Structure 1
Amino acid sequence: MGKAEVRRHGRADEGELGDAVRQARGGDEAAFAVVYREVHPMLLGYLRGLVGDDAEDVASETWHDIVRGIPRFRGDGQAFRGWAAAIARHRALDHVRRIKARPRTTPLEDGATEPMTAEDAGGSALENLSTRRALDLIAGLPQDQAEAVLLRVVVGLTAPTAAKVLGKRPGAVRTAAHRGLKRLAERLDGDGGSRG
Structure 2
Amino acid sequence: MTDELLVLRCQLGEPEALTELVRDWHIPVWNYVRGMLGADRADDVTQEIWLAVIRGLPRLRTPGRFAPWLFTIARRAVTDRLRQEYSVTEVCAQEEPVTEDAAGALVDRAGLVAALSGLPVREREVLVLFYLEDLTLEDCAEICAVPVGTVKSRLNRARRMLRDHLTEEGSKR
Q: TM-score, normalised by structure 1?
A: 0.69
1:21 aligns with 2:7: yes
In the TM superposition, what is the alpha-carbon distance from 1:81 to its structure 2 partner?
1.4
2:56 is aligned to 69
1:170 is aligned to 148
1:127 aligns with 2:114: no
- Partner of residue 59 from structure 1, selected from 39, 43, 46: 46
- Partner of residue 20 from structure 2, selected from 34, 42, 47: 34
Contact kept? 2:137, 2:148, Cα under 8 Å:
yes
Gaps of at least 5 residues in structure 2 are 90-101
- Partner of residue 83 from structure 1, selected from 69, 72, 75: 69
2:82 is aligned to 96
Deviations 1:9-65 (A, max 9, x none): xxxxxx722222222222222222221122221111111222222111111111100
Structure 2: which amino acid aligns with 1:74? R
Q: Which has the higher helix share?
A: 2
In the superposition, relative to structure 1, how do residues 50 and 124 fare at CA in structure 2: closer, same or farther (>3 Å)? closer
Deviations 1:52-92 (A, max 9, x none): 22111111111100000001113245x21111111111111
In the TM superposition, what is the alpha-carbon distance from 1:149 to its structure 2 partner?
0.8
Structure 2: which amino acid aligns with 1:23? R
In the superposition, relative to structure 1, how do residues 102 and 186 fare at CA in structure 2: closer, same or farther (>3 Å)? closer
Gaps of at least 5 residues in structure 1 are 1-14, 104-122
